[in-house]
Amino acid sequence: MGFKAKEIESKGRRVSDKHSGLPPDRLRQPTPATWFAALFGGALVYAIIRYHLAGDVPWAHFPLFILNKATSLATLFFVASSYLVGNVGISPTGLLD
C-alpha cells in the first residue's frame, strides 16, 4: 500500500505509525473478509432456496425479506463461532497479550 506513516502530536510526545510495531497492512485482513463472504453467500443461497424456490414468497420481497433472513442467519453463525473461538489473545488478567 502507498500509505505514508503520519506523525501525531500527543501530549508533548510524538506518535508515529512506523514506531508502533503494527504491520502496515493491518486494516486489510483477507481471512475475515473471506469468511464473511462465504457465510453470507451461503446464507443468501439458503434463504433464496428456502423461501423463493421451495416456498411461496414472491420475488418482490427479495430486497428486504430475503436479505434480512440471510443477514440474520449469517449473524447467528458469527455469534456462535465467536463463542467457539473463545478468548484468544486475552491473558488471565484480562489484558491483551
**Closest C-alpha to 70, from 34, 46, 35:** 46
What was the pLDDT predicted at 20? Answer: 61
In this predicted model, what pLDDT tens digit does every residue of 71-84 receive, in sequence order? 999 999 888 887 77
pLDDT band (50, 70, 90) for residue 7: very low
In this predicted model, what pLDDT tens digit does every residue of 28-60 receive, in sequence order? 666 777 888 899 999 999 999 999 999 998 999
Q: Could you tell me the residue ranges of all domains in the chain?
A: 30-85
Cα(29)–Cα(76) distance, integer angstroms: 22
